[in-house]
Amino acid sequence: MITVITFNLERDGGPDENGRPPARWRAAHELLKTHRPDVLLRQEMTYSRARGKRRLHDAAELLEMRGFVGGQGWGNSPTGLFVRPGVFDVRQEFDVQQELESAPLWRCPPTHIVASLREVPEVPIVIMSWHLAFNSPRRRELETDEILAFADQINQGSAFLGGGDMNEYPHPSGETVPPIDWTDDGITDRMHMMHRTNRSPDGTRISCTYADETLLGAGLHDPARYAAHTLHQPDALCATAGQNKPSQGGPRRIDRHYVDPWLINAVLEVSIIDTPDSDHDGLKVVYSRAGMAEALRRNVARRAAYDLAL
């Protein structure tokens, strides 16, 4: 099996305590270690570039993985990712500073590499960890369009696997968590409402769902939807954030994965990891390793795009 986890650890667990990562950071990584991820997509690696990327290296050593961290960006909250040696071979990593200069639109620049599954070295896999802008629907739209530029490499024979903190909502089609009613008197965080909504033609506020609609519309797939509707795992669609924020609309499915239309066929299970040390829970996707290899070779049928009219 291949396990992929995305996890936003709030502000990287906090600053160092007595010269070492804080208790929240250590507890979160010990929990992650029990799930033995083969790919870990991290967000809010706030302190992981400091002191020669010491915290990045600490995480990589603890998890027995190879780690990468993105640029600082003006969101001051780097993304990162980890892959397990012996499962994936890294074929290419990228110059973070050069990317910041060429793509300043990202509030929190993504981390991305090109790797290959050990059994299928001839097929490149674009692996990407992102954290979309928390404060601007327009910027999230631009960032989503840039994700599509990476995903477009599937048309040249690559595979695509990415995910992270979307900072907006899934399209309501097929969801179990009902959409937010922004007219509810209990939603008192007006700043958050502006961050997460657009004005509809009739003047009311409606939830931002551009990222989900666009990535699905381009033919990518959401493993949680696949698990819920094809594998009969309804809990895959449970909320990952907002549990303690009723003033912002309450629990929501904010953290999501997207993969190409071949890899989706290898998904076995999707579950939520309860992570008490952050304001986000982890999202865990388990793939068949043999199924992933067959998907990379494209020996399985390309799954049709998700129908948002369902």
What's the CA gap between 147 and 169, in Å, rounded? 17
Scored b (16 or more CB within 10 A) or e, 131-159 reads: bbbbebbebbbebbeebeebbebbeeebb
pLDDT band for position 307 (cuts 50, 70, 90): confident
Question: Residue 74: what pLDDT?
Answer: 77
pLDDT digits (tens, 9 = 90+) for 204-240: 899 999 999 999 999 999 999 999 999 999 999 999 9
Written as six digits, the tokens of 71 are 């640029």
pLDDT digits (tens, 9 = 90+) for 262-301: 999 999 999 999 999 899 999 999 999 999 999 999 999 9
Q: In the predicted model, is pLDDT for residue 103 greater than 60? A: no
pLDDT digits (tens, 9 = 90+) for 130-158: 999 999 999 999 999 999 999 999 999 99
What's the CA gap between 112 and 162, in Å, rounded? 9
Give, rounded to a whole angstrom, the gap between the first and last alpha carbons of the chain. Answer: 30
Question: Residue 76: what pLDDT?
Answer: 81
Q: What percentage of residues in the chain have a pLDDT greater than 70?
A: 96
Q: In the predicted model, is pLDDT for residue 102 greater than 60? A: no
pLDDT digits (tens, 9 = 90+) for 51-80: 889 999 999 999 999 999 998 877 788 999
What's the CA gap between 255 and 285, in Å, rounded? 12
pLDDT band for position 309 (cuts 50, 70, 90): confident
